[in-house]
Chain A
């Protein structure tokens, strides 16, 4: 270690070495004659031979070596290599598709090794971005070549990829599903925000409401989601039968109405709690001096309390949104649409690739929402507070 030499970056080394093991020992792809029959798993060397498998180790081991003495210049090189590896993956898959898939019905499945590599290399990318202190936008820009490579390969050579076949069979439905998913999340989080802030404000004013409010919200949070959807079924069905205008709006025991209500119920607690705590925990000395300087109640709230609480409120919105993206998947069970539809269809038909077609975008949406809202909170914090 001495002489100011940087300490080896253990995280990077471990990630890449784990990748090497996965690449050599886990199935990289599977080939199935049709949709339902489970595919035959193949190791990388079984798929394309050692001639491709071993050279692929060179960049992986190079990153390990670079991570041993992580000076900035070497880490930048490592970053380039990791991006290249991520971008090379669809090319390798294309080659595998060309070599292994002959029949028109046959499908190529992505194996455990590749999933794991995707995961490990993305983590390596995150680690390198943090070490090099690259600004967020640049971090996202790094993903651009990777996405381009995937897009290019998918449209040119990866037609036999099972996941892609599932998508192609439903490309319209897929976009609709994303739209429904986002609409439901947006409507629930938006309503939770308005209601939640209102409720938090009321709770701050009336101590009695505080205990009752948190009691009810905590209780709601503990009901399992499927049970909550079920509980809403009967009353909503009854309401829509009673009131024509509700039925005309599309309200019924199943569909978007109970899903939205349930999501709203789950979203309220984190929203109210964060808003309440955020507003309540603003330093009393700051409030006292604001009043002492002669700010009116309104000015104290709008110019001092609210701006100081905002980052924590935003944190509530972030938690709520990520949670709602996941819960909306379950809402597909009661016919609310969204990406969960594919997951449950796939489960019903034992078609894992269809499950993935629903699950992967859900994960992606959650990650994107998380990243965007975190970035926004960072921007707000830049004002200097805390």
Chain B
């Protein structure tokens, strides 16, 4: 559990972070969004003390971070950044094993752990263990970055725009992998991003920042429906918020069981997000879709009226 109480950071005259309070529960994935320069990275770095906060208190599991030795503290917190920061002169395996080695794990255990993590992140050991970072694609490098952050099984993970430099397809793949990992590992994660779709997809709790302050925080749907001001509303997509919300809802939540009518010709997966169903309707110019399961077997239908959720 991470708690920030009225935390402020000043760089000389400039106030980068202005009295923010935040509580991230154990196992929660908290996403920080906001305009450039609003203090997201600074907030993240204050948690692992790469930057010391000027005022207020930051607690990990109820204990002020200032009471920890900073080096020991950081070894307990995973840290992933956009440019990966992999050591170019070390192999992938050595990069991943960094923190366990700093913690003086026995050699054999380090190796086992590295291999387990490479398997977890879809990096075949035989192919990748001895490669150098410059031989990796952006997506592979970022996987290594995540593996390195997870190496010593930290309770907390800080991720600063980790997928920011990747193409949309790789980015989405990694987002899904992160959600899968999180479902298994239940880390406490603070995640910074500029991409609102990414934020909505990942967040248990969404925090909107502006000029060093938190403007609003809460579950994504709550922010979508009840933004406190125009800034939050526009951050969350303005007029497009309907589509953003549809992206958070699954087809299976709106579909009706198969009725007596003939099956509609066009199909949509039950797992697909609602905006995809809407897009299919627009594309095929129809107002009814057949909903199929993972094996392409019809299990229900979705009408435009149901999709938009109109009451009747």
Smallest beta-carbon distance B232→chain A, Å = 30
Chain B hits for A385, CB < 8 A: 88-89, 132, 134
A386–B98 alpha-carbon span in the complex (Å): 20
CB-CB contacts of B196-227 with A at 8 A, as 1s and 0s? 00000000000000000000000000000000
Alpha-carbon gap, A288 to B84, bound state (A): 10
In the assembled complex, which residues on chain A have CB atoms less than 8 Å from the CB atom of B88? 283, 286, 308, 384-386
Decide: A292 near B79, CB < 8 A? Known: A384-B135, A386-B134.
yes
Q: Is the interface of A mostly helix, strand, loop or mixed?
A: helix
Query: Could you tell me the distance between the alpha carbons of A159 and B169 in the complex, rounded to whole angstroms?
Result: 77
Residues from chain B with a CB closer than 8 A to the CB of A285 are 81, 83-85
Contact with B along A105-133 (1 / 0, CB 8 A): 00000000000000000000000000000
Q: Which of B26-34, B70-78, B240-248 contacts A (4 or more CB under 8 A)?
A: B70-78
> Is B188 close to A, CB under 8 A?
no
* A291 nearest CB neighbor, chain B only: B50
A256–B64 Cα gap in the complex (Å)? 62
A294 touching B81, Cβ below 8 Å: no
**Beta-carbon contacts of A303-321 to B below 8 Å, as 1s and 0s?**
0100110000000000000
Q: With an 8 A cutoff between CB atoms, is A299 at the interface? A: yes
Chain A residues within an 8 Å CB radius of B83: 283, 285
Known contacts A288-B81, A299-B102: does B74 contact A293 (CB below 8 Å)? yes
Contacts of A171 in B (CB 8 A): none
* A308 and B148 contact, Cβ closer than 8 Å, known pairs A296-B71, A384-B134: no
Whether A383 lies near B89 (C-beta < 8 A) is: yes
The reply to whether the CB of B268 lies closer than 8 angstroms to some CB of chain A is no
How far is the CB of A235 from the nearest CB of chain B, in Å? 45
Nearest B residue to A384 via CB reads B132
Chain A 279-301 interface residues, beta-carbon cutoff 8 Å to B: 283, 285-286, 288-296, 299
A290 to B94, CA, bound (A): 13
Q: Which one of A285, A294, A383 has the greatest number of beta carbons of chain B within 10 Å?
A: A294
How far is it, in angstroms, between the C-alpha of A307 and the C-alpha of B89 when the chains are bound? 8
B interface residues, Cβ below 8 angstroms from A: 48, 50, 71-76, 79, 81, 83-89, 91, 98-99, 102, 132-135, 145, 148-149, 158
Taking a contact as CB atoms under 8 Å apart, the answer to whether A291 and B74 are in contact is: yes
The residue that B85 contacts in the complex, of A289, A308, A383, with Cβ under 8 A, is: A289
What residues of A have a CB within 8 angstroms of the CB of B102 in the complex? 293-295, 299
Does the CB pair B85–A286 fall under 8 Å? yes
Instruction: Report the separation of the CA atoms of residues A304 and B72 in the bound assembly, to the nearest whole angstrom.
Output: 19
Q: Are B99 and A293 in contact (CB under 8 A)?
A: yes
| Cα–Cα, bound, A308→B89 (Å) | 7
B85 touches A290 (CB 8 A): yes
**What is A's interface to B at a CB cutoff of 8 Å?**
283, 285-286, 288-296, 299, 304, 307-308, 383-386
- Find chain B residues with CB under 8 A from A299 CB: 102
12 of the cross-chain contacts (CB-CB < 8 Å) are A285-B81, A285-B83, A286-B88, A288-B50, A289-B84, A292-B50, A293-B148, A294-B71, A294-B75, A294-B102, A308-B88, A385-B88
- Closest residue of chain A to B79 (Cβ to Cβ) is A292
A385 to B48 CA separation, bound complex (whole angstroms) = 28
Q: Are A286 and B71 in contact (CB under 8 A)?
A: no
The reply to whether A295 and B71 form a contact with Cβ atoms under 8 Å apart is: yes
Among residues of B, the one whose C-beta sits closest to the C-beta of A311 is B89
CA distance A293 to B72 in the complex (A): 10
Q: In the complex, what's the smallest C-beta–C-beta distance from B136 to chain A, in angstroms?
A: 11
Q: Which B residues lie within 8 Å of A304 (CB)?
A: 87
Task: Tell me whether A384 and B75 are in contact (CB under 8 A).
Answer: no
Assembly CA distance A308 to B75 (angstroms): 23
Chain A residues positioned under 8 Å from B145 (CB to CB)? 289
A383–B135 Cα distance when bound, in Å, is: 12
| Cα distance A295–B74 in the bound complex, in angstroms | 8
- Closest 9 A-B residue pairs measured CB to CB? A289-B85, A384-B132, A294-B75, A294-B74, A292-B79, A285-B83, A385-B88, A285-B85, A383-B89
Contacts of A384 in B (CB 8 A): 88-89, 91, 132-135
User: Within the complex, what minimum Cβ distance (angstroms) separates A201 from chain B?
Assistant: 20
Q: A285-B85, A294-B75 are in contact. List 9 more A-B contacts (CB 8 A).
A: A283-B88, A289-B84, A289-B86, A290-B87, A291-B74, A293-B79, A293-B102, A294-B74, A294-B102
Which residue of the partner chain B has the closest CB to A286? B85
B166 to chain A, nearest CB (A): 16
Inter-chain CA distance A304–B133, complex, in Å, is 14
Q: Are A293 and B98 in contact (CB under 8 A)?
A: yes
Pick from A288, A293, A308, A386 the residue with the most CB of B within 10 Å. A293
Q: Once bound together, how far apart are the Cα atoms of A70 and B74, in whole Å?
A: 59
Contacts of A386 in B (CB 8 A): 88, 134
B84 contacts across to A, CB distance below 8 A: 285, 289
Output the least CB separation between B246 and chain A (Å).
37
User: Can you name the residue of chain A whose Cβ is closest to the Cβ of B98?
Assistant: A293
Which residues from A are CB-within-8-Å of B134?
384-386
Tell me, rounded to whole Å, the shortest Cβ–Cβ distance linking A294 to chain B: 3
Measured CB to CB, the nearest residue on chain A to B135 is A384
Which one of A283, A291, A296 has the highest number of Cβ atoms from chain B below 10 Å of its Cβ?
A291
Chain B residues near A307 (CB-CB < 8 A): 89
Query: Complex Cα distance A383/B149, Å?
Result: 23
Taking CB atoms, residues of chain A closer than 8 Å to B149 are 293
Q: In the complex, what's the smallest C-beta–C-beta distance from A300 to chain B, in angstroms?
A: 10
Closest to A292 in B: B79
A294 touches B85 (CB 8 A): no
With A304-B87, A307-B89 already in contact, the answer to whether A289 and B81 are too (CB < 8 A) is yes
Residues of A within 8 A of B48 (CB): 292
Bound Cα distance A308, B86 (Å): 12
Question: Which residue of chain A lies nearest to B44 when distances are taken between CB atoms in the complex?
Answer: A292
- Nearest Cβ on chain B to A125's Cβ, whole angstroms: 33
- The answer to whether B81 touches A292, judged by C-beta atoms less than 8 angstroms apart, is yes
